[in-house]
């Protein structure tokens, strides 16, 4: 019987934005182990595997077993496509990189408590699933960025024409399987491009393109959480409905930002159908300086 373990890890990963999925799912056909690697942003497969291994002891065991299996195959002369896990330049280079990943998994721990996390569409903050603790206390990698903390997002994109917009903000969630034969192509990939027109009172967020391809049906609701930030303080937030294709959305601050600065941040939340929880990617703009007399802010 084939066993599948799910890995969810995020370029903006943290315990408050994703549920540790700590169970194996049986699949028909053979006795081979597979792991589903879910990455966001520009996160590498190695980072994703290390992060999830720190959160899920069973996943850690299976990932380490896969790494040892890959090393044995490579040492025996087999050629494996491990995608971003290793550089396929030489067998020794692959072995060195796998050993480094194994070492990272063994050391990347800190003591953190967990419960399952889900987020209903439109919820401003992820909430714990009712009465269901998947793990009471676990050793967990300390994440650098929290999807509920937009200040920790990286700046993505470029300044637009006239400096009154910030464009080409990319947000991505993708998933693929790895097994003893290697790592496969993405089964699911949802990517969006976002443009922000900042405003002293209300900002417009244009999403001219969202694409779900390939689409194996593993992703459900996909929505934005929008943030208005003034000098590190969140002064406004909003959630959209399901995003697909294109759309225009707005976020307003609780007070006028005339004569001061504004940062706009976006969280892309993607619901993973098989496991009943969300994962996220996030990005923000740099500060824009807002005019004193109208809604315009400039970068």
pLDDT digits (tens, 9 = 90+) for 192-235: 999 999 999 999 999 998 999 999 999 999 999 999 999 999 99
Contact 263, 285 (CB under 8 A): yes
pLDDT at 265 over 90: yes
pLDDT at 249 over 70: yes
Check residues 242 and 10 and name the one with the higher pLDDT. 242
Contact 288, 182 (CB under 8 A): no
User: Which are the contacts of 11, defined by CB distance < 8 A and separation ≥ 6?
Assistant: 39, 40, 41, 42, 43, 145, 154, 281
User: Which are the contacts of 266, defined by CB distance < 8 A and separation ≥ 6?
Assistant: 169, 171, 194, 196, 205, 224, 225, 226, 227, 282, 283, 284
Per the document, the length of the chain is: 299
Q: What pLDDT is attached to residue 278?
A: 86
pLDDT band at 108; cut points 50, 70, 90: confident
Categorise residue 155: left if φ over 0, alpha if ψ from -120 to 50, beta otherwise: beta
d(CA 59, CA 57): 5
- From the CB of residue 26, how many other CB atoms can be counted at a distance below 10 Å? 8
Q: What is the mean pLDDT of residues 149-172?
A: 96
């Amino acid at each position: 019987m084939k066993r599948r373990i799910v890995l969810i890890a995020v370029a903006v990963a943290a315990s408050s934005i994703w549920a540790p999925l700590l169970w194996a799912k049986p699949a028909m056909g053979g006795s081979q182990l597979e792991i589903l690697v879910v990455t966001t942003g520009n996160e590498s497969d190695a980072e994703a595997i290390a992060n999830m291994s720190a959160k899920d002891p069973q996943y850690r065991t299976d990932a380490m077993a896969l790494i040892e299996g890959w090393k044995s195959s490579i040492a025996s002369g087999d050629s494996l496509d491990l995608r971003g896990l290793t550089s396929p330049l030489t067998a020794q280079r692959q072995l060195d990189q796998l050993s480094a990943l194994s070492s990272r998994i063994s050391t990347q721990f800190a003591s953190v408590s967990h419960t399952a996390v889900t987020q209903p569409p439109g919820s401003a903050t992820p909430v714990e699933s009712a009465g269901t603790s998947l793990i009471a206390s676990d050793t967990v990698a300390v994440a650098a960025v929290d999807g509920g903390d937009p200040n920790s997002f990286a700046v993505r994109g470029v300044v637009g024409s006239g400096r009154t917009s910030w464009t080409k903000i990319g947000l991505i969630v993708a998933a693929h399987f790895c097994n003893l034969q290697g790592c496969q192509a993405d089964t699911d990939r949802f990517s969006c491009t976002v443009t922000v027109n900042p405003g002293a009172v209300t900002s417009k967020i244009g999403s001219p393109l969202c694409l779900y391809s390939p689409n194996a049906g593993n992703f459900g609701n996909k929505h934005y959480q929008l943030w208005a930030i003034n000098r590190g303080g969140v002064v406004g937030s909003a959630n959209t409905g399901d995003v697909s294709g294109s759309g225009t959305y707005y976020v307003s601050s609780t007070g006028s930002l005339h004569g001061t600065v504004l940062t706009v941040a976006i969280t892309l939340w993607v619901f993973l159908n098989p496991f009943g929880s969300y994962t996220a990617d996030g990005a923000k703009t740099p500060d824009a300086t807002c005019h004193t007399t109208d809604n315009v802010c400039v970068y």
